[in-house]
A and B are shown apart, each in its own frame.
Chain A
Amino acid sequence: AQSVTQLDSQVPVFEEAPVELRCNYSSSVSVYLFWYVQYPNQGLQLLLKYLSGSTLVKGINGFEAEFNKSQTSFHLRKPSVHISDTAEYFCAVKGGYNKLIFGAGTRLAVHP
């Protein structure tokens, strides 16, 4: 069965510092990976996705993620965060029947 583990439930960081949000997955089939962001009181918005090809994926708002098959990871990074990046971030893998299997989420708190 496919599953996603987000290793950090909360990540505090200062503004303009780099950040990495960690995600590990387990899957026995082709891997399609997604990162979503949820701002307070809003729905989930796609940040980026990996389907195939280049292992470095660039998304919106300056985020990028690297697919590492040997380590079964798909960590999300941003070189310099802003206050507006404060949100909850969800890693997900596509399962059978086109379903998304989500991790528990990582709350990113950016402090001035």
Chain B
Amino acid sequence: DSGVTQTPKHLITATGQRVTLRCSPRSGDLSVYWYQQSLDQGLQFLIQYYNGEERAKGNILERFSAQQFPDLHSELNLSSLELGDSALYFCASSGSAPNTDTQYFGPGTRLTVL
């Protein structure tokens, strides 16, 4: 158990819909990262937040947005969903001692868009 929790575990929705994925980081971790993993694209970094502020941005579509709240949990919002958005979405957190660079991954949310 990494200490990172993600909800929901599975999500099935239709094209055009909007969903919110939630991530709770490990206690003490200030950074949260979001990744997308699909069969055709592999693993892709989406975005990183540090203590509520956006720190780094990767291949995140304009239809996607994220935020980190004062209690450090994070949400990834996916809107106008397309079939190609079906993937595993991972959240990771890092920052607490002693290994501040180590990223701890959650179990992922499997999104299926029908």
**Bound together:** no
